[in-house]
Amino acid sequence: MSDIPRLRTGDYFGGLDLGKKQDSSALAIVRKEDDVLALVGLRVWPLETNYTSIAGFLSPLFERIKHIHQLLIDETGVGVPFVEEAKKNFSQVEGITLTLPVKQEILGYLKMAMQEKRLSYPHEDELENELNIEQFELTKAGQVQFSHPSGTHDDRLWAVALAVYATRTKPRPQFKPISKSF
């Protein structure tokens, strides 16, 4: 599953974790049917891949997959200009800053989907390694901090976690009843 295949119609969601020098950039595509999720595409770019190449991949991606409802992109650090440019071309793009509480929420949602057996994914050694080696530690401030052992990566993990998180049902806005008196 090293690339994004041609996919049939359906509801798709994506996650893009940007990297450059120490980490690779990774893109995951998840199909959602009812409440069941399936990882249907995963692309990892080599280290040092410039962001222009990654941005250039998005146009053909959106052409091949007509029903991408949301593509969540990690805009932490260098991701802000990338997300701003992508939003100009694709209304489905949304940036997300990976603060400690946000990371906890995203990985908590991924864990829940996996525990409930709502997420299926093909066997891929690198992805399974990343899913299994992610570590967490409670900070003095009471927040959970995530990391991976030296010499390992978590790019696939975060791309998949972002794609799965994009599938969540967003709360509908609550409207106040219209007052009868003016």
Q: How many CB atoms lie within 10 A of CB 60?
A: 10
- Which is more confident, 24 or 166? 166
Question: What is the average per-residue pLDDT within 54-75?
Answer: 91
Q: Which one is the CATH code of 11-166: 3.30.420.240, 3.40.50.360, 3.40.30.10, 3.30.1490.20?
A: 3.30.420.240
* pLDDT for 7: 58
Q: Would you list the domain boundaries of the chain?
A: 11-166
Query: Please, is 106 exposed, middle or buried when counting C-beta atoms within 10 Å of its C-beta (0-12, 13-18, 19+)?
Result: buried
Q: Report d(CA 45, CA 43) in Å as an integer.
A: 7
Q: What one-letter code names the amino acid at 123? A: H
Question: What is the average per-residue pLDDT within 91-96?
Answer: 94
Alpha-helical segments (H) within the chain: 51-64, 79-89, 100-115, 125-133, 155-166
Q: Tell me what percent of the residues of the chain surpass a pLDDT of 70.
A: 80
Q: Tell me what percent of the residues of the chain surpass a pLDDT of 90.
A: 51
* pLDDT for 182: 47
Least confident residue range of 33-37, 64-68, 79-83, 169-173: 169-173
Residues 6+ apart with CB under 8 A from 24: 44, 45, 46, 47, 49, 153, 155
Distance set, CA 7 to CA 15, 89, 104, 120 (Å): 17, 21, 31, 16
* pLDDT for 79: 87
Q: Report d(CA 55, CA 18) in Å as an integer.
A: 11
Query: Please, is 139 exposed, middle or buried when counting C-beta atoms within 10 Å of its C-beta (0-12, 13-18, 19+)?
Result: exposed
